[in-house]
Chains A and B, each alone.
Chain A
Amino acid sequence: MTEAAASPVSPAVHSRGAEAWRILRRNPVTLAAITIIVVVSVAAALASLIAPFDPNATDPAVALSPPSPHNWLGTDLYGRDQLSRLMYAARLDLLIPFAATLSALAIGALVGALAGYAGRWVDQIIMRAVESVLAFPALVLAMGLTAALGNSIGNIVLTLAITQIPIYIRLIRGEMLRVREMEYAEAARAVGNPAWRIVLVHLLPNCIPPLIVQATLAMGFALLTMAALSFLGLGIRPPDSEWGEMTAEGVGYMVTDEWWLFVFPGLMIMISVLAFNLVGDGLRDFLDPRMRGVRS
C-alpha cells in the first residue's frame, strides 16, 4: 500500500507547488507581502553580516544626523545607526510573536480538539473559560499579565500566547464538531481506533487550513500587541531593543525636528503587520477553495 501511495505523491506535490505559484502570480499583493516578510526575516537573521554598522557603536560626530547616504535612516542621540538598530530589533519583533503564536497554536489545537471531541461538561467548562479570557481585549490582558508575571522575554511570549489560545480553541472546537460526524471519522471509530488516535491522526489534520490562516493573522496582531506593550514601557525594555520600544525612545525628539527617530520604527511595525495580514488573506483564498473569488 505504501508503494502504491508513494508514486502518485510526487507529481501531486509538484502540481500543487505549480498551482500555488500560478495563483501567486495572479495575486501581486500577496506576492509583495510574502516578499516583505522574507526580506525582513533575512535582514533580521543576517543582521550581524549585512548591517552597515554595529547597532551599539556610538559616534558623537554623527549624533542625531538625519537620513543621509552615510546613515540611510539617520542616527540617534549617541550616533548609533538607526538602520542597523532596526535590523537587530527585527529579531525580537519576529521571534517573540512567532514563538507565542506557535505555542498558542499547539496548546489551543489540543484543548480545542478535546472540547470538540469530548463534548458535554468538558466542553462546557473549557468554553466558559474561553469566553472569560476573550472578555479581555488582548492588549488589556497583556498589560495585566506582564505586570503580574514580569516582562522578561519569556514572559512576554507567554503573555502573547495566553491572549491567542482561546481563539484557536474556539476555532478547532468548531471544526471538530463538524468533522466528528463525517463518514471517515465514523469509519475510524468502527474499526476500533482509540479516541485520541482518531482526534490526532484523522480529525486534527483536517482542521489545519483554517488554523494556518488564523495563525498568520495572529502573527501581525501579536506584533502589534507587543509593540504597544513596549511603547507603554511594559514590554521589552532597553538595553533590549524592539520597534515599539524604539518608537517610545524617539518620541522626545519630535519637538526638536528629529522625526526619523519615531517615524521609521513605527513604519517597520506597520509594514510587517500589513504583510502578515495580507498573506493571511491570500492563504485563506488559497487554502479554502470555497472562499476563492469571494472577497469579504
Chain B
Amino acid sequence: MSLALYVLRRLLSVIPTLFGVTLVSFFLTYTLPGNPAMVKAGPLATPEYLAEVERRMGLDQPMWVQYGRYVSGLFRGDLGESASTGRPVLQDFVQRLPATLELTVASLTLAMLIGIPLGVLSAVHRDTIIDHVGRIVGVAGVAMPTFWTGLLFVFVFFYLIGWAPAPLGRLAPGLAAPPTVTGLYVIDSILAGNWPALRSSIAQLALPSATLAFSVMAPIARMVRATMLEILSSDYITAAWAAGLPRRRVIYGDALRNALIPIVTTLGVVFGFLMAGNAVVETVFSWPGIGNYAVTALLTKDSGPIQSFVLFVAVMYVIVNLIVDLLYAVVDPRIRLS
C-alpha cells in the first residue's frame, strides 16, 4: 500500500470515531438532569414563557433533531452557553486554553526529560540497582492518585520548606500578566522582558507540572526500557560494539535514535492521561484552565461547558493519535503494509 493511500484510509477512519464521540457527548447532556430552559428563563418565569424558551432552544424537538442541531452548531463553532458565566462556552474556552496548554506542555517536557534517560539507564544497567529504582519509581507513579501527589508536593514544598509559592493560579498575587502573545505566561514574559513575571510564572508552574509529569513518566520510561532492551540485543548494535565504537555513541546515538520511533506511539496514551490529570491537578492548584472550568461546571450541573470539555478532550485525543499514526507510517514503512 502506498503512503498516500494509507494516509487517506487513516483519515477516513477518523470519521466514524468522531461521529461516535459526538453521539456520546450529546447523550451526556441529553440525559443531564435539570432543564436548561428553566435556568435560562429564570425562577420567576410563567409556564407560557418557559414553553416559549424551550421552543426557541429546540428542546421540544425529538432527540435526533436536537442531535442534528447540536452537530451543525459544532461546525459553526457554537458550543452552547455557560449558565454560570452567561457567556458562550467557546469564548470561555479560548480564554482558558492557554493555561491548560502551558501546563500540559510543561508536564510532557518534564516527563520526557526524566522518563527517557530513566528508561535508557534501566535498559543499559538491566537488573542492577538503577533498574530496580527505576521500576519502583514507575510502579509508584502509576499507583499514586494524582490529586494526592499534588497535595504531598504542596505540603512539602510550599508548607513545610517554603520553596514553592502558594498553589493559587499562574502568577503571584499583585503581578500583572504579561501582554498576550501566545497566552503562555512563561513565553510571553520572556518576549516582554518582564523578569519578575517570568520568575513567578515558572515558580507557579513547577509543582503542578511536576505532579502531572510524575503520573505520566512511568509509561514513557517503561516503553523506552522495553524498546532499548530489544534494540540493544539487535545485530547492528552488536556490530557497533564489535567495531569498537564509543559506548556513549552506541547507546545514545545509534540505539536511542531508533528507540525514539516506538516511543512516539506512547505519546497518544500519555496525552489521554494528561487530559484526565489536568482536571484534577488544575483543581488542586487553582489553575485557571479548562479542566478546572469543567470541574466547576460539573459541580453546578452547567451542561454547556461539561459537554464541550468532554468533546474537546476526545477530539484532541483522536487527532493526537491520528498524527502519531501518520508520523509513524512516514518513518516506518512496515506499518503501511499491514
The interface of chain A, by Cβ under 8 A from chain B, is: 128-129, 131-133, 135-141, 143-145, 147-150, 220, 224, 227-228, 231-234, 244, 247, 251, 254-255, 259, 262-263, 266, 269-271, 273-274, 277-278, 296
Contacts and interface: CB of A to CB of B under 8 A. Distances in A.
B12 to A, nearest CB: 12
Most buried by A among B25, B27, B148: B148
Given A139-B279, A140-B313, A271-B143, 17 more contacts: A128-B16, A131-B20, A132-B16, A133-B20, A136-B317, A138-B276, A143-B279, A148-B31, A150-B33, A232-B279, A232-B280, A233-B299, A244-B145, A262-B155, A266-B144, A266-B151, A269-B148
A137 B294 CA distance: 14
Nearest to B319: A135
B145 A147 contact: no
B310 A144 contact: yes
Closest 8 CB pairs of A and B: A132-B20, A266-B148, A139-B276, A137-B276, A274-B143, A273-B143, A135-B314, A137-B272
Contacts of A262: 148, 151, 155
B310 A140 contact: yes
B155 A147 contact: no
Contacts of B23: 132
Interface in B152-174: 152, 154-155, 159
A138 B275 CA distance: 10
Interface in B306-324: 306-307, 309-310, 313-315, 317-318
B275 A137 contact: yes
A69 B299 CA distance: 39
A270 B140 contact: yes
Interface in B21-62: 21, 23-25, 27-29, 31-33
A274 B139 CA distance: 7
B301 interface: yes
For the complex, would chain B's binding face be called helix, strand, loop or mixed by DSSP majority?
A: helix
A140 B279 contact: yes
B252 interface: no
A165 B310 CA distance: 19
Contact of B145 (A133, A141, A231, A254): A231
Contacts of A227: 145, 147
B142 interface: yes
B52 to A, nearest CB: 26
Given A136-B313, A141-B310, A128 B20 contact: yes
B317 A135 contact: yes
Contact of A228 (B140, B142, B146): B146
Contacts of A233: 299
Contacts of B25: 144
Nearest to B16: A128
Interface in B267-311: 272-273, 275-276, 279-280, 283, 294-295, 298-299, 301, 306-307, 309-310
Contacts of A136: 21, 24, 310, 313-314, 317
Contact of B28 (A144, A150, A232): A144
Contact of B147 (A228, A255, A259): A228
Contacts of B20: 128-129, 131-133, 135
A139 B144 contact: no
12 contacts: A135-B21, A135-B318, A136-B313, A137-B276, A137-B313, A140-B314, A150-B33, A220-B143, A228-B145, A262-B148, A270-B140, A274-B143
Nearest to B291: A140
B139 A254 contact: no
Contact of B155 (A145, A231, A254, A277): A254
Given A132-B21, A137-B275, A255 B306 contact: no
The interface centre, meaning the residue of A150, A232, A251 with most chain B CB atoms within 10 A of its CB, is A232
B24 A132 contact: yes
Nearest to A281: B139
B24 A266 contact: no
Contacts of A133: 20, 24
A145 B25 CA distance: 10
B140 A274 contact: yes
Given A232-B283, A234-B299, A270 B17 contact: no
Contacts of B315: 135
Contacts of B298: 143-144, 147, 232, 234
Given A132-B23, A232-B295, A140 B276 contact: yes
Nearest to B318: A135
Nearest to A262: B151
Contacts of A128: 16-17, 20
